[in-house]
Amino acid sequence: MQNTGIIRTDFLAAIRPFVYASKLIGLMPLDSPDRCSGEISSKKVYIGTSPWNIAHSLILILGLLCAFVPHLKFKITHIHTCYSFSFVIFDVVGCVLLFLASLVSLLQQAILCREELKDSLLTIARIDSHLLRNSYSGVYRKTKIILVLQLVISFVYFLTLFSFDFFTTKKSFGWFHRFVKYFINAIDVVMSLQFVNFVFMIGHRFRVLNSELNSTVTASSIRVHDYTSYPDGADSVSFIEVGFDDTVGRKKMATRVVPAASTTNTQIFTNHWLKRRLRNQGVCNIRTLRRIYLLLHSVISTVNNSFGVQIMLTIISSATATTLNIHTVIVFLTKDLGTSVKDNMNKLLMLNLASTIPGVLKLIIITASCELSKKEAGRTAVLVHKLLLHRNVDPDILTELQLFSQQLLHINTNFTASGFFVLDFSFLYSTLGSIATFLVFLTQVWESYGHHTHTQACD
């Protein structure tokens, strides 16, 4: 049975370019077939998993499985006859890991975790109904522009790389093997961009949450003006009431309980009533932010479970490919390979350098996005404890902040690769150190063994 949910049209419009690109290569079997009936039809739509898109993903999975075996055999038997044994091993390992990352991406996002990913999008749309109630259009417009730019840059880069590869190695590769190679790369890149965009989206919501928390406590601590500051004859006082399930804030008018012509006791009573109303509203807002923090944590858990394995494979394959390409450049520039080998390697040198860029960028962007979002989530705890030391905090709000502080002690907002390692800058530093270590190892292998077996060049 197809499980559907409701999502705002403006949020869906913001992510639609990436949704369509992901559906094209089988990574997002989501659809929005029906609109809600009634007055909210212009604001929200149903979103669900489409059986046809799932079938499309299954066909791609079977096609990759059937095409990769002859592709890998071709690489080993025809392309690497001119390279050393260590080079062949590293290239094959990187190629297999990249294929597994693409295959697992299709399995996870199209079959196993499709409902969880859909629920995460719905959760973010629900969170936005509170956090972004005053800035829907601006945030979603920027989101759409960023996603379109990502897709355009990725498409142009891979089209340029494909053309350069075709004219450089057109005698070595056929159309079939070149298409398999770049289709696997395209799936991996789009999956990595999905993960990065999810992480940046979560980090942005944490940043807005922190700003909302700070403004709520600050506004609640400001002394309410005396009722005499209101114009004479005013029969009502306006205030903003925001519920978590509301899409926008509701401006209400609180009528006076005591007639305007009463004595000074009327002013004291109304002033006290306003203070109590603002205090209760501050407590409700902080409690809502606590629920939002928990929802964001649930989205982080879904992202870790849905993207963890393929992100781990992507990082390892990117590190392997980067190590191999840099080693090839070092060998070409520093070793005596012979005239015939250098003539052919000169054609592949620029291709190796161009192929290194996506792997390095994936390592940097994945870890940087996780690091920045994790810092923004951790800043909430620092902000809560700073607000606890505020001199003018109301006792009820102070109690809610203490509960928030206790809640933060039991929540882990780390982004992990399926629990094997935490994705942050420290992991990036260790990865770069591992690349340097393997470069030294490959250079030593080349000195002792590789140049004796590297005897002929590719035709």
Alpha-carbon distance of 47 to 114, in angstroms, equals: 12
Share of the chain above pLDDT 70, in %: 73
Q: Token match 């800043």: residue? A: 379
Q: With a cut of 70, say whether residue 452 has pLDDT above it.
A: no
At residue 47, the pLDDT reads: 78
Task: State the average pLDDT for the chain.
Answer: 77
Element (H, E) at 47: strand 44-49
Tell me the CA distances in angstroms from 217 to 29, 128, 277, 396, 434, one per residue in order: 42, 20, 14, 11, 47
3-state DSSP percent of the chain in helix, strand and coil, to 5:
75, 5, 20
Q: With a cut of 80, say whether residue 41 has pLDDT above it.
A: no
Q: How many alpha carbons lie under 13 Å from residue 205 in its C-beta half-sphere? A: 28
Confidence of residue 222 (pLDDT cuts 50, 70, 90): low
At residue 283, the pLDDT reads: 82
Q: With a cut of 90, say whether residue 313 has pLDDT above it.
A: yes
Alpha-carbon distance of 287 to 212, in angstroms, equals: 12
For range 71-81, the mean pLDDT:
74
Alpha-carbon distance of 428 to 410, in angstroms, equals: 26
* Structure-model confidence comparison of residues 44 and 25, the more confident one: 25
Q: With a cut of 80, say whether residue 77 has pLDDT above it.
A: no
For range 225-238, the mean pLDDT:
41
Length of the chain as a residue count: 459
Question: Which residues touch 65 (CB under 8 Å, ≥6 apart)?
Answer: 103
Q: Give the closest residue to 390 by CA, choosing from 399, 381, 398.
A: 398
At residue 206, the pLDDT reads: 94
Q: Give the closest residue to 276 by CA, choosing from 390, 389, 404, 397.
A: 397
Alpha-carbon distance of 125 to 131, in angstroms, equals: 10
Q: Which two tokens stand for residue 279?
A: 């205090």
In angstroms, what is the C-alpha Rg of the chain?
A: 29
Winning range, highest mean pLDDT, from 26-40, 288-302, 314-328, 349-363: 288-302
Contact 224, 392 (CB under 8 A): no
Contact 158, 185 (CB under 8 A): yes
Q: Which two tokens stand for residue 22?
A: 């992901």
Alpha-carbon distance of 358 to 343, in angstroms, equals: 26
Q: With a cut of 60, say whether residue 259 has pLDDT above it.
A: no
Q: With a cut of 70, say whether residue 115 has pLDDT above it.
A: yes
Contact 44, 9 (CB under 8 A): yes
At residue 448, the pLDDT reads: 58
* Structure-model confidence comparison of residues 18 and 327, the more confident one: 18
At residue 80, the pLDDT reads: 60
Cα maximum dimension of the chain: 105
Tell me the CA distances in angstroms from 427 to 77, 240, 315, 412, 421, one per residue in order: 36, 45, 11, 17, 8
Contact 26, 191 (CB under 8 A): no
Digit-coded pLDDT (tens) for 262-293: 444 444 444 555 566 666 777 888 888 999 99
Q: What are phi and psi of 6, to 5 degrees?
A: -110, 135
Q: Which two tokens stand for residue 344?
A: 């052919």
Q: With a cut of 90, say whether residue 299 has pLDDT above it.
A: yes
Contact 36, 8 (CB under 8 A): no
Min mean pLDDT across 93-107, 179-193, 224-238, 366-380 is at 224-238
Contact 289, 213 (CB under 8 A): yes
The residues with which 250 forms a beta bridge, in sequence order, are 241
SS3 421: coil
pTM of this structure: 0.82
SS3 252: strand
Digit-coded pLDDT (tens) for 137-191: 888 999 999 999 999 998 998 888 888 777 776 556 667 878 888 889 899 999 9
